[in-house]
Structure 1
Amino acid sequence: MSSPVEDPSSQCADATARLLVAAAFTAIRDRYLVARHQIAAAIIDADRRVHLGLHVDAIVGRAAVCAEAGALSAARLATSAPLVAVAAVRYPKPTETCGARIVPPCGLCRELLLDHAPELRAVIHDGARAGLTPLAGLLPHKYVGTKWAAAPLRA
């Protein structure tokens, strides 16, 4: 029998990061399915409501949906309040011994999240502790298209 997977929220330096990581961990722990759901994300809005998203894998990789995109969609369905922070947690495969871990948003999610929440911060693990970092600083050369007016990004 395998030992329980530890919640990585204890690695977080502040209360908001801990809250988000714990919420994402609980979501993926409860919904993990090999080759289907590996990551969950949590976004908190300015009213302190947490919105969850689940990674949905697909046989055709391009059709997969990242957990952060799901959380963004859930947040926008529930509120128009500004979005404050995001965290994602990857659950280990049964063959892995690394445990659950905090993961940064992929490049595509960084672009998507910044399109909808230019001031968003992400929980990033620096090797020792995890804390909130401005997402714009992780994507210093964001694509700016012509679909809508771009909001200024601050690092």
Structure 2
Amino acid sequence: MTGNERLMAAALDLITSRYRLARHQIGAALLDADGDIHVGLHLDAMVGRAAVCAEAVALGVARMATNAPIVLAAAVRHPKPDEIGPARLVPPCGLCRELLLDHAPGISVLVADAPGPRAVPLADLLPHKYIGTKWSA
């Protein structure tokens, strides 16, 4: 199994086992430079702003486990009961694009493409990233 396949399988396994309507809809997996995978689960909230994306949870899990650079991310969305079709690969939202690039500037993400998923540099999905003054870019 390739790194891409391992990553997608980890995200899919997590959301398949933990899916709960209006609570947990997305599972994410991050691959570090040592080859380890770190997973996170989307945490929805009654107040939308309090929700936490799966990629952010996975990043926190990764940072608790290692200082190794994070090199690849994948997120899988579970279909709602009234939706037809399987779980699908989804790109990170804008907030997660910013967060991941803050902590892993060289990261790539898996995106759905024909004929199958491919890794693209996250910076290509967010070409004009916000650069603040908290730390050096």
* TM class by smaller structure: over 0.9
Q: Could you tell me the TM-score, scaled by structure 2's length?
A: 0.97
The one of 16, 31, 39 aligned to 1:52: 39
Which residue matches 2:49? 62
> What amino acid sits opposite 1:142 in the alignment?
K
Say which of 17, 22, 25 aligns to 1:35.
22
> C-alpha displacement at 1:100, in angstroms?
0.3
Equivalent of 2:61, from 64, 74, 89?
A: 74
Q: Does 1:111 align with 2:98?
A: yes
Whole-angstrom CA distance in 1 between matches of 2:115 and 2:96: 24
Corresponding residue for residue 9 of structure 2 = 22
Partner of residue 134, structure 1: 121
1:45 is aligned with what amino acid? Answer: D
How far apart, CA to CA, are the structure 2 residues paired with 1:34 and 1:127?
Answer: 29
* Mapped pair 1:92 → 2:79: yes
Within 1, Cα distance between the matches of 2:51 and 2:132? 24
Please state how far the C-alpha of 1:131 moved relative to its aligned partner. 1.0
AA of the residue aligned to 1:146: T
Give 1:143 deviation, angstroms: 0.1
Q: What code does the residue aligned with 2:111 have?
A: I
Quick one: distance in 1 between partners of 2:65 and 2:71?
15
| Structure 2 SS opposite 1:57 | coil
* Counterpart secondary structure, 1:96: coil
Q: Pairwise CA RMSD of aligned residues? A: 1.0
Task: Return 5+ residue gaps in structure 1 as ranges.
Answer: 1-13, 151-155
Give the number of the structure whose alpha-carbon radius of gyration is greater: 1
Between Structure 1 and Structure 2, how many residues are aligned? 137
Q: Distance in 2 between matches of 1:141 and 1:110?
A: 11
Query: What displacement does 1:129 show?
Result: 1.1
How far has the Cα of 1:128 moved from its partner? 2.9
TM-score by length of 1: 0.86
Q: Any unmatched runs of 5+ in structure 2?
A: none
Match of 1:153 in 2: none
